Amino acid sequence: MGASTIISPSILSADFAKLGEEVRAIDEAGADWIHVDVMDGHFVPNLTIGPGVIKSLRPHSEKPFDVHLMITPVDPYIDAFAEAGADMITAHPEAGPHFHRTVQKIRSTGRKAGAALNPSTPGETLDYVLDELDLVLVMSVNPGFGGQSFIDSQLRKIEGLRQTIDRRGLPTLIEVDGGVNPDTAKACISAGAHALVAGSAVFRGGPDAYRDNIAALRG
């Protein structure tokens, strides 16, 4: 593992009463990206935050904002999240029938484009858009809530995606989200992941623990 592993703490596990302070704290503790989970209560069974919150958080960190849209429809909201300060916008092919159009829409904003795959969705779903993606986010839990346990079958998906990306000579990053802790982090990196999203594994213990928690994920 080591320092080359990108750590993207999920603010879903932060103290929502002081999100700006939390973002500054994980930035200073060594986070590479800031992961923002956007949920609509429709595509996933939870409601979180919208573009206004992202805009208000933007001044608190210069690190890339890694925004994961668990919403449907997604296309009408892409401009708003781009304007709010997202650097990467990741959407789900499961959320609508025209995912290639969604990817084109994200790229048209100048932001990096990602695809998130639910646990039951095969990596092959992305075969015909993979060359237009900067990022594939493998969900190692069913999206909607933090604090779930890692689904081991997703390691095979990571391996398969890594083989395909390497064979095709693409620069696409593989990110993993769900149940990531120091033990599962090692397995994800061994399988071929480049980036790890972690919520409770970073935020447990409060701000004084964030640096050690992030370091533990790097191995």
The answer to whether 144 is annotated as binding is yes
One-letter amino acid at 49 equals I
Q: 189: which 2 tokens?
A: 């990196």
The answer to whether 68 is annotated as binding is yes
Tell me the sheet residues that pair with 139.
177
Q: Distance between CA 133 and CA 127 in Å, rounded?
A: 11
The answer to whether 147 is annotated as binding is yes
Beta-carbon neighbour count of residue 192 at 10 Å? 19
The answer to whether 140 is annotated as binding is no
What are the angstrom distances between the C-alpha of 126 and each of 101, 118, 137, 157, 164?
A: 13, 12, 11, 12, 10
The answer to whether 41 is annotated as binding is no
The answer to whether 114 is annotated as binding is no
- Looking at the annotation, which residues are catalytic? 37, 177
The answer to whether 20 is annotated as binding is no
What are the angstrom distances between the C-alpha of 86 and each of 56, 62, 65?
A: 12, 11, 5
The answer to whether 123 is annotated as binding is no
Annotated binding site: 10, 35, 37, 68, 144-147, 177-179, 199-200
